[in-house]
Chains A and B, each alone.
Chain A
Amino acid sequence: MQHRPVYTRTAVALHWFIALLITAGFTLGATMTDLHMSPRKLKLYSYHKWIGITVLGLVLIRLLWRLTHPAPPDEPMPRWQRIAAHVTHWLLYLLMIATPIVGWLYSSASGYPVVYLKLWQLPDLVAKNKKLADVLVQVHGLLAWTLFWVVLLHVAAALKHHFFDRDATLKRMLAWQRP
């Protein structure tokens, strides 16, 4: 049997690690804001910010990797599905970069700088400005929820290809063993 091309190991590792971080970061972000003011709440906010910054860094690496190591060719599928898949992928990249950056902007505008892993204080992207912060937090939430729906679409499409079309779309991203 002829081996089909798969994603590189680096791309596979980055994909699943980022997926895990986004799930954790999104869950934290969606729940922490409603908590009562407490030391735990402040800690969760810190973790949320660290996760976001990690995602931002890893996605930039992933993007560089993708631009230098092309994805395997598409499985045979209708044209509209191929277009939809590619639009979804680039939309995911865009949202994975924009969501943490707007979160960082929001942190700066609120006057609470990000101190990554309690070790490195990131530069403030904008000066403290309450009105701007109120807008940025809305945009951050909107981007995160858009990311949520696009991820859901991405997962649904992967499962459709795997279980209904029975093609190798998902396997390309699961293959650790190089063919």
Chain B
Amino acid sequence: MRRHSPWISTIALTAAFVATAAGDPTIDASKSSIIATFRQESVPVDAALKKFNGRIDYNAAQPNAAKAALEVDTGSLDLGSTDYDAEVRKKAWMDSGTYPKASFISTSVKPGPTGHFDATGTLTLKGKTQTLTVPVTVGKAGSAMVFDGAFEISRAYFGIGDKEWNDVVDDKVKVRFHLVE
């Protein structure tokens, strides 16, 4: 095997390090999760959104220039039960046939204490939009950037769920995300 000079190795390593630090802003869905928790009869049920994609451009030196754009397949909501999964894809609920995608596009970012920022953006779900401000915590997993946060939405606002279900299923749905680049 050919031996590189120590200088070349050092340069190669530095270049690799810089490339990783700059990071690929594309979200790695296989390491990330988006989970909606709703309450039925006071029972918290976690439903994972299995398919999504997007990118978060974030630079710790200029946090207010950060940008986020995410797109989620509404039909990928997994409640862990075939019956519920079928129910929730119906018109009265997610209506994945008509509205296959939900999205969040950031419009502005307000930096908080180190490792925190508030992302304000537009959530589009089932044909309706809502401006949300989401507190986000920035972390690292090895060389990858990790973004964690949660927000609450109202089923009624987005027209998700039949009225007959309202005394069984809470209006508020909490969405938690763990996004790894």
Contacts and interface: CB of A to CB of B under 8 A. Distances in A.
A178 interface: no
Contact of B41 (A38, A110, A111, A115): A115
A119 B42 CA distance: 8
A153 B160 CA distance: 50
A115 B168 contact: no
Interface string A39-76: 10011001000000000000000000000000000000
A118 B42 contact: yes
Given A110-B80, A128-B80, A39 B168 contact: yes
A160 interface: no
Nearest to B41: A46
B165 interface: yes
Interface in B41-89: 41-46, 79-81, 83-84, 86-87
A130 B164 CA distance: 28
B45 to A, nearest CB: 6
A74 B64 CA distance: 82
B83 A130 contact: no
B102 to A, nearest CB: 22
B174 to A, nearest CB: 15
A113 B38 CA distance: 12
A111 B46 contact: yes
Contact of A118 (B41, B80, B83, B164): B41
A130 B169 CA distance: 23
Contacts of B80: 110-112, 128, 130, 133
A87 interface: no
A106 B169 CA distance: 21
B10 interface: no
B45 A43 contact: no
Interface in B71-124: 79-81, 83-84, 86-87
B14 interface: no
B40 interface: yes
A1 interface: no
Query: Which of A110, A111, A115, A128 is the most central at the interface, judged by chain B CB atoms within 10 Å of its CB?
Result: A111
A43 B43 contact: no
Interface of A: 37-39, 42-43, 46, 110-115, 118-119, 121, 128, 130, 133
